[in-house]
Homo-oligomer: A and B are copies of this chain.
Amino acid sequence: METPSARWEGLPSWLLTQTAGHAQRLVSDGFASVGARGYHYRLLATLAEHGPASQATLGRRSGIHVSDMVATINELADEGLVERAPDPSDRRRNVISMTAEGKRQLRRLEKQLAETQERLLEPLSLEDRARLTDLLSTLLAHHNSRGTPEEPWR
């Protein structure tokens, strides 16, 4: 941008979305350097945390929409990081599980992610980092709770 002072540049919502844009860029560049993107990490991490599950369950656990889950699993399965097997006890379902290579990839992604946090917070002191995390957690909890208010009007 040519002008360092536009009307909106001091607004909290602007500061937030712009800073988040930088964060997003750092994170996805980090993931891209290992040939992955955000959804890949989230799916692998979810599998590592709760073990194999159906696509619908993985969607609920990871916050990835079921329809995006299909593509994500396709991509990871093509790379041999994840396996899709029919669930014998319910023919509607697939059971998704991580391969050994998938676990290695997850370790790489987590390493990238840790380095990214460092780069992101670089100019802040430890105290400031804690303060920022606190403030953002407060904000996020607040808006998440008001999030999908479970049809509150019915």
Chain A contacts to B: CB under 8 angstroms: 1-3, 6-8, 10-13, 15-24, 26-27, 41-42, 45-46, 48-50, 57, 60-63, 113, 116-117, 120-124, 128-129, 131-133, 135-140, 142-144
Closest to A50 in B: B3
**Structural contact, A6 and B133, CB atoms closer than 8 A:** no
Number of copies: 2
Shortest Cβ distance from A61 into chain B, in angstroms?
5
Determine the residue in chain B with the shortest Cβ distance to A42.
B8
- Given A135-B128, A140-B15, are A63 and B23 also a contact pair (CB < 8 Å)? no
CA distance A45 to B14 in the complex (A): 14
Name 10 A/B residue pairs within 8 A (Cβ), A-sorted.
A1-B62, A2-B57, A3-B61, A10-B133, A11-B117, A12-B132, A13-B26, A13-B116, A17-B23, A132-B135
Among B7, B20, B24, contact of A19 (Cβ-Cβ < 8 Å): B20
Q: A133 to B12, Cβ gap below 8 A?
A: yes
Q: How far is the CB of A25 from chain B (nearest CB, A)?
A: 9
